[in-house]
């Protein structure tokens, strides 16, 4: 009998929704036109692109023309950051972000620092949240951008976007949100939250890889990252990926049909199953971050005391369970989690003894029970 592998790394990527696969396959077969062509094939492709754009825009309360299709979250983040920096350097060169952002935000910041921009990295507390007073103090007339993620990809902390938007709207800065982990898990209203730029990625919401969008508020001055043709209202050159965009629209439509509160309650139940199993067998562990307050429950980050992260990942993988460490595993060695370092300090034992479990809408209760049992057995075997 073939063992079924269980996927619990949904913060890294998600399995494609069968309806998305069906749509993409159908579009590839029946609708191969270039959406910029004027003939019937092109017009048909354009209709597909615009229908998906409308679906995405409605999800975050934006106008259709404010949605720019990109290759994903990294390109969207890079466009928002470099585009703002280059277009607004005559106003100032100060940018505010946090210490726990995704590398597609942190690495552009490092590049800009080398170019003479002043980058301020806000601290976070042990739950993975910023202090709004710290942001308030740093917001000066020469601040041109505030870039803060919606939901942290390692510990699930939700940033106070509405409160940040209120502070930033009265300044000279644009407010950019990396919503790659939040999109589909929490409700976002760009108007209500005073968000100027917002990045998403399709593969985090059961859509195709290498596709996302950047919301760019109408009237903003942001330079293009790429140069070429006049696609995407002259904002992002390159022939549109019509089948992928159609699939993205379907993925988001499926998500919009769901109650996000119920989804979070489902994930909370999953967390409880795992934690109850650990408690029952008196496994020595702690939560990284928090399970209370502003947090998305699709992520559960555990410090398994005395269990090395790499050993835990290897053992779980061999038993058919896919989870991750704090950061990407490269060439057999784990890069220390910059998120856990920012929360607990570089010398914390948590950094070498933590795993991230992340749930998706296709996970079942039986899968979680099976994982919990295996996790307990592993901890008993490997703990010092």
Q: Which residues are catalytic?
A: 329
HSE value, Cβ hemisphere, 13 Å, CA-based, for 115: 14
| Residue 265 tokens, joined | 């309650």
How far is Cα 62 from Cα 220, in angstroms, rounded to an integer? Answer: 14
Angle at alpha carbon of residue 165, lines to 160 and 168, rounded to 5°: 125
- Classify residue 294 as exposed, middle or buried by CB count within 10 Å of its CB (0-12, 13-18, 19+): middle
Which residue, among 284, 329, 278, 275, has the nearest Cα to 303 in the 3D structure? Answer: 284
DSSP labels, 304-344: ETT--HHHHHHHHHHTTEE-B-SS-EETTEEPPPHHHHHHH
Across 99-142, the runs of DSSP E, i.e. the strands, are: 118-122
**Which of 119-126's residues contact partners 24+ apart within 8 Å by CB, and which partners?**
119/95, 120/94, 120/95, 120/96, 121/97, 122/96, 122/97, 122/98, 122/148, 123/98, 123/99, 123/342, 124/98, 124/99, 124/100, 124/157, 124/342, 124/343, 125/343, 126/289, 126/343, 126/344
CA distances from 289 to 207, 231, 353 (A): 28, 42, 14
Sign of CA dihedral 294, 307, 282, 270: positive
Q: Are 115 and 89 in contact (CB under 8 A)?
A: no
Q: Is 259 helix (H, G, I), strand (E, B) or coil?
A: coil
Q: How many C-beta atoms surround the C-beta of residue 353 within 10 A? A: 23
93 vs 160: CA distance, rounded Å: 25
């Amino acid at each position: 009998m073939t063992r079924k592998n269980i996927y619990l790394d949904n913060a890294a990527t998600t399995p494609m929704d069968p309806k998305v696969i069906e749509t993409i396959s159908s579009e590839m077969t029946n609708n191969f036109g270039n959406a910029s062509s004027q003939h019937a094939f092109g017009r048909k492709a354009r209709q597909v692109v615009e229908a998906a754009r409308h679906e995405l825009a409605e999800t975050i309360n934006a106008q259709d023309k404010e949605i720019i299709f990109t290759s994903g979250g990294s390109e969207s983040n890079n466009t928002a950051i470099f585009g703002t920096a280059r277009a607004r350097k005559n106003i100032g060169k100060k940018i505010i972000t946090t210490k726990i952002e995704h590398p597609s935000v942190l690495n552009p910041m490092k590049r800009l620092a080398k170019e003479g921009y002043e980058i301020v990295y806000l601290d976070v507390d042990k739950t993975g949240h910023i202090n709004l007073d710290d942001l308030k103090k740093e917001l000066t007339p020469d601040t041109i951008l505030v870039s803060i993620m919606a939901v942290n990809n390692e510990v699930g902390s939700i940033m106070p976007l509405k409160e940040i938007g209120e502070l930033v709207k009265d300044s000279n800065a644009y407010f950019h949100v990396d919503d790659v982990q939040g999109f589909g898990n929490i409700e976002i209203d760009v108007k209500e939250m005073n968000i100027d730029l917002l990045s998403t990625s399709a593969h985090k919401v059961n859509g195709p890889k290498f596709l996302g969008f950047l919301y760019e508020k109408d009237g903003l001055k942001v330079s293009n990252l790429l140069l070429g043709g006049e696609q995407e209202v002259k904002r992002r050159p390159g022939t549109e990926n019509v089948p992928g965009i159609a699939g993205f629209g379907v993925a988001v439509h499926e998500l919009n049909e769901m109650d996000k509160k119920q989804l979070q309650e489902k994930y909370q139940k999953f967390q409880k199953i795992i934690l109850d199993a650990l408690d029952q067998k008196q496994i020595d562990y702690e939560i990284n971050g928090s399970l209370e307050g502003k947090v998305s429950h699709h992520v559960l980050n555990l410090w398994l005391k005395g269990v090395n992260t790499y050993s835990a990942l290897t053992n779980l993988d061999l038993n058919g369970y896919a989870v991750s460490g704090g950061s990407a595993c490269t060439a057999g060695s784990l890069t220390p989690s910059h998120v856990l370092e920012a929360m607990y300090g570089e010398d914390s034992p948590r950094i070498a003894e933590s795993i991230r479990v992340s749930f998706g809408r296709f996970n079942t209760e039986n899968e979680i029970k099976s994982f919990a049992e295996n996790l307990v057995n592993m901890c008993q075997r490997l703990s010092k």
